[in-house]
Amino acid sequence: MTSTADGVVIVGSGLAGYTFARELRRRDSAVQITLITADGGEAYSKPMLSAAFAQGKTHADLVQKAAALVASDLSIRVMTRHQVEMIHRDRRRLTLRRPDGTGTEIGYEQLVLAVGADPRPYRVEGSAAAGLFTVNDLDDYALWREALTPGARVLLIGAGLIGCEFANDLVTGGHAVTLVDPAPWPLGRLLPAELGIAMAAALAKAGAVLHLNRSVTAFTPGLAVLDDGTQIPFDRALTAIGLVPRTALAAAAGLAVMRGIVVDRLLRTSDPSIYALGDCAETEVGPLPYIAPLLAEAKALAATLAGTETPLALPALPVVVKTPALPTTVCPPPPGAEGHWRVEGEGCDLKALFVGPDGQPLGFALCGKRTAEARTLATEIPPLLA
Ligand SMILES: Cc1cc2nc3c(=O)[nH]c(=O)nc-3n(C[C@H](O)[C@H](O)[C@H](O)COP(=O)(O)OP(=O)(O)OC[C@H]3O[C@@H](n4cnc5c(N)ncnc54)[C@H](O)[C@@H]3O)c2cc1C
């Protein structure tokens, strides 16, 4: 069966897909826009997933708009629960599959991939049977929330940005949380030692038990074994060890793929009629899996497709870490940048500047009261993409 679309076809109803649709419609009231998504297409704010539990929010509370409402607001067609299985670049068509196994085809003039990223799987002895959860979308959140009985002991693997946020949220929500990470301090890739140690102390004070410099090497039912032999009993386990851009669809179509789907400054893939943005895309400064870059990408791409070629430009983009136990803002230096951290402050109110060999600040991290300086400091950091 064939379903005609053509015009601009977007794959993905996350913040990247919907923001791009809104920005394009704002600039072009006539263009035909079709958005296809494997999920239910509800508009929601993904960052809330790691800050909603303590507030008692259900999956339904997080939905900002149902797919049908977004479709009518933006005058677009939204096809929910349709998986894009294949891109036929020669014919500019897509093969779609519904959950009941039936398929259809749809055409496009311009295709925009906003397919996001998958949680990195944690694989050790016994992990397949350990019932490990990940929370990366609304459906995951619903399952996770349902599985968490009051007071359940939670094992959290990964003390990066998302892991720390979940740890803070879950202890505030009344759970006994054990956090395990091989790094010597939480947010090991984003914070220098002084601020990381302050974060560890703040999470511990909030009630989490931290096992740093440690990894889970095996699971038996209800029990995790660490590499130093420590045994941790748990009721539920959540992993947050990073995200992997979804590249399989693009790679199968022969598009250039590295860590993400490779795009140029116009968000164009190696096929000039296919674009990518959000967590799935790899810009010349690498994948940028945060909200601020995808908002800038959506605006630039919408302007380009509406007729004004607009290369992506990105200022320094600080990210707020949602850990009320220790308010923190990070603006990491570019990957591979040379330099060193210069730390000042007292107690939990700390400021760290990452300074290059010529004294130029290239990034920063702020904790406690010093987070108030983020906006001003961001103006002193060179743009990510000038
Ligand atoms: C728990 C959590 C907290 C976060 N907190 C913050 C924060 O505080 N600040 C910040 O800046 N960033 C944060 N982030 C990152 C930020 O949320 C993401 O960068 C952003 O939401 C990614 O949006 P996206 O649209 O690119 O991808 P997604 O939201 O993952 O959307 C991908 C879409 O593609 C669809 N899809 C995928 N494959 C197919 C297919 N083959 N066919 C059809 N549809 C398909 C999916 O169904 C989905 O609709 C957080 C992330 C998580 C997981």
Q: Are strands 176-181 and 209-212 parallel, antiparallel or unpaired?
A: parallel
CA dist 10 and 266 (Å) reads 16
Q: What is the mean pLDDT of residues 331-342?
A: 92
Distance of CA 11 to the CA centre of its chain: 17
Q: What is the mean pLDDT of residues 100-107?
A: 94
Distance 281 CA to ligand 1 centre (A): 12
Virtual CA dihedral for 374, 377, 378, 384, nearest 10 degrees? -130
User: What pLDDT shows up at residue 151?
Assistant: 85
13 lines ligand 1 (CB under 6 A): yes
Q: What is the mean pLDDT of the chain?
A: 96
CA dist 316 and 286 (Å) reads 14
Distance 14 CA to ligand 1 centre (A): 5
Q: Which two tokens stand for residue 353?
A: 């500047």
Q: Is the backbone of residue 278 left (phi > 0), alpha (psi -120 to 50) or beta?
A: left
Q: What is the mean pLDDT of residues 304-318?
A: 97
Q: Is the per-residue pLDDT at 273 higher than 90? A: yes
Q: What is the mean pLDDT of residues 100-113?
A: 96
Whether 143 contacts 291, CB under 8 Å: no
190 lines ligand 1 (CB under 6 A): no
CA dist 64 and 191 (Å) reads 33
Confidence of residue 233 (pLDDT cuts 50, 70, 90): very high
User: What pLDDT shows up at residue 336?
Assistant: 85
Nearest-atom index, ligand 1, CA of 85? 41
Domain boundaries, the chain: 8-118+243-305, 121-239, 327-378
Whether 40 contacts 59, CB under 8 Å: no
Which amino acid type is present at position 4? T
Confidence of residue 90 (pLDDT cuts 50, 70, 90): very high
Global ipTM: 0.99
- Give the 3-state DSSP-derived string for 199-263, with helices as H, strands as E and coil as C: HHHHHHHHCCEEEECCCEEEEECCEEEECCCCEEECCEEEECCCEEECCHHHHHCCCCECCCEEC
Q: What is the mean pLDDT of residues 203-212?
A: 98
118 lines ligand 1 (CB under 6 A): no
pLDDT 10s digits, 124-149: 999 999 999 999 999 999 999 999 99
Nearest-atom index, ligand 1, CA of 15? 25
Q: Is the per-residue pLDDT at 159 higher than 70? A: yes
Confidence of residue 334 (pLDDT cuts 50, 70, 90): confident
Superfamily per CATH, domain 121-239: FAD/NAD(P)-binding domain (3.50.50.60)
CA dist 50 and 169 (Å) reads 7
Q: What is the mean pLDDT of residues 348-373?
A: 97
Q: Which CATH number among 3.30.390.120, 3.40.1390.20, 3.40.50.300, 3.40.50.720 corresponds to the domain 327-378?
A: 3.30.390.120
Q: Which two tokens stand for residue 223?
A: 């029990």
Do domains 8-118+243-305 and 121-239 share one topology? The answer is yes
Q: Which two tokens stand for residue 253?
A: 């179509």
**Where does the chain have alpha helices with state H?**
15-27, 59-62, 67-74, 138-147, 161-172, 193-206, 248-252, 291-305, 374-378
Q: Is the per-residue pLDDT at 4 higher than 90? A: no
Distance 117 CA to ligand 1 centre (A): 6
Query: Is the CATH number of domain 8-118+243-305 3.40.630.30?
Result: no
Element (H, E) at 354: strand 349-355
pLDDT 10s digits, 57-74: 999 999 999 999 999 999
Q: Are strands 274-276 and 33-36 parallel, antiparallel or unpaired?
A: unpaired
Q: What is the mean pLDDT of residues 190-212?
A: 98
Nearest-atom index, ligand 1, CA of 49? 1
Element (H, E) at 210: strand 209-212
Distance 11 CA to ligand 1 centre (A): 12
Residue 362: count of CB within 10 angstroms of its CB = 21
Nearest CA to ligand 1 atom 33: 12
3-state secondary structure of 302: helix
